[in-house]
Structure 1
Amino acid sequence: MTKAIYREEYGAFLAVLKRRRLEAGLTQEACSSALGRPQSFMSDVERGVRRLDIIQIRDLCRVMGCDLTELIADFEAELRAG
């Protein structure tokens, strides 16, 4: 099985994260700061260099003003859209 970071689905997930951040009106710096991390944190996440666990994804959702189920629904919609 191919590692998740090399699958198309992972790229779709990263696109959803970035879109949610932008829709929330947050820069990478503002988002990272709200999480208590350096700006490079969000840059690394969005480029696929750093992976997040489920707790970090949940924290990120709170910063972006959505909940985990909304993010997953967006991700599933992105996958269906192809």
Structure 2
Amino acid sequence: MKTIHDDRYKSLIRQLVAEREVRDITQTALSAALSRPQSYVAKVENLERRLDIVELADWLGALGAGREEFMQRFGWW
């Protein structure tokens, strides 16, 4: 099974979307902060494109979310 279909990955993306929405940041604003097209954000959020660890760090930074705090929510370690 590809990791993009793993329930843990889906949970991670749902939490990223929630972080963005709580901060009232649009996909367009996030994409600008990431210097990427809006379609990049949409594809990640729609589980059409997978984030790697470096992209995840950039994404959290653009959202202003604490990396350690964010990851501790999942209890994977």
Fold in common (TM above 0.5): yes
Q: What displacement does 1:24 show? A: 1.6
The alignment's TM-score, normalised by the length of structure 1, stands at: 0.82
Superimposed CA distance per residue, residues 37-56 of structure 1 (whole angstroms, 9 cap, x where no aligned partner): 11111100101111111111
Q: What are the within-5 Å matches in structure 2 for residues 1-82 of structure 1?
A: 2-74=1-73, 76=74
Pairwise CA distance, 1:67: 2.2
- Higher relative helix content: 1
CA distance in 2, matches of 1:53, 1:25: 24
Corresponding residue SS for 1:25: coil
Moved segments of 4+, more than 4 Å: none
* 5+ residue gaps, structure 1: none
Number of residue-to-residue matches in the alignment:
76
CA RMSD, Structure 1 to Structure 2 (Å): 1.6
Structure 2 alignment gaps of length 5 or more: none
